Amino acid sequence: MKRRHFLGLLGAAGVTMGSGLSAQAASSADVKGLPNANGVLFDATRCIGCRKCEAACNQVNELPKPAKAFDDLTVLDTIRRTDAKTYTIVNKYVPEAGKPPVFRKSQCNHCMEPACASACFVAAFKKTETGAVVYDESVCVGCRYCMVACPFNIPTYEYDKAFTPRVMKCTMCYPRLLEGKLPGCVEACPKEALLYGKRRELINIAWDRIGATPGRYVEHVYGEREMGGTSWLYVAPKPSFAAIGMDENLGTASAPELTSGALAAVPAVAGIWPVLLTGLYAITKRKDKIAEAEKQAAVAAAIATASADAAAKLSEELAKAEVANKRRIEVEVTKALEAAAKAAEEGEDA
């Protein structure tokens, strides 16, 4: 069963069992975007694919070193995505044959009303005043609804950690922001393809660039309205954002708006989950008890059968022994009688 189908069934179950709940997004009050949040503007016309942003991200977040060094640009020949050990990646695209490639940086877009936060029933994700969407691993239950919900396919999971797995993604260098520093990738970019500042100001800058060079840019600021808006904004050269691997069909509705009906079920599901697990545990234990009783009965029957067989065998052996003993006695008596008779005959002859 596919994850989305499974979650859909859970949602349907929650709606059925949670009648009376208002049809509102599970966490919409907590994830509403902040109008004064900061953000980052990425200009694809300035990116040269040097991967210095990747190297900075790796260093700032103390992530494992990649298999290939950051100055090895052959990795750009393959389209990549972020993973649990890589918060940001740069991909290369060739929108038009015969023309230079275009590079695009990918990472968490830090939505104004994050789908991950809306889907999370334990509030492990939170939109902060800095613009960053942060994650609290201490409350995460590992359901991974956030991974299913994210329209940009960003959160990843530490499947290689059996006991303490986490959901991993870009944090916009949140700890650095609290110290008044720039995100690592922004600070490292040699071509100013990344610009950090107030989101509303970045939108104005983006439109100014588009208007200043007619025909160069796609006449759209990606992230201004997509999915209710994101703190990570993009401008790109023509012909389209789709030409550099970006989804142009997400619409402008935020995740809470799109999922208000389905996510109304989450509190009900969360409340029923312990009951469901308790029931499953009881059924399992009952099966275990039945299986144990059947096993004990089988063992007892086997022991009884073995005992009966052993008794019969012993009786048979004793019977055989008795016959053999009788025969030995008869032989000995016969020998004794024959010896006595022989002795008597010798006495008479003397």
Q: Give per-10-residue mean pLDDT for the chain (350 aa).
A: 45 40 37 77 98 98 95 96 97 94 98 94 94 96 95 95 94 97 98 97 98 96 96 97 96 80 53 59 67 76 77 76 71 76 71
pTM: 0.67
Kindly tell me the sign of the dihedral angle through the C-alpha atoms of 254, 260, 264, 265: negative
pLDDT of residue 298: 77
Strand partners, 9: none
Distance CA 2, CA 4 (A): 6
Residue 168 burial (C-beta neighbours within 10 Å; 0-12, 13-18, 19+): buried
The C-alpha torsion from 6 through 280 and 166 to 133, rounded to 10°, is: 60
pLDDT of residue 349: 65
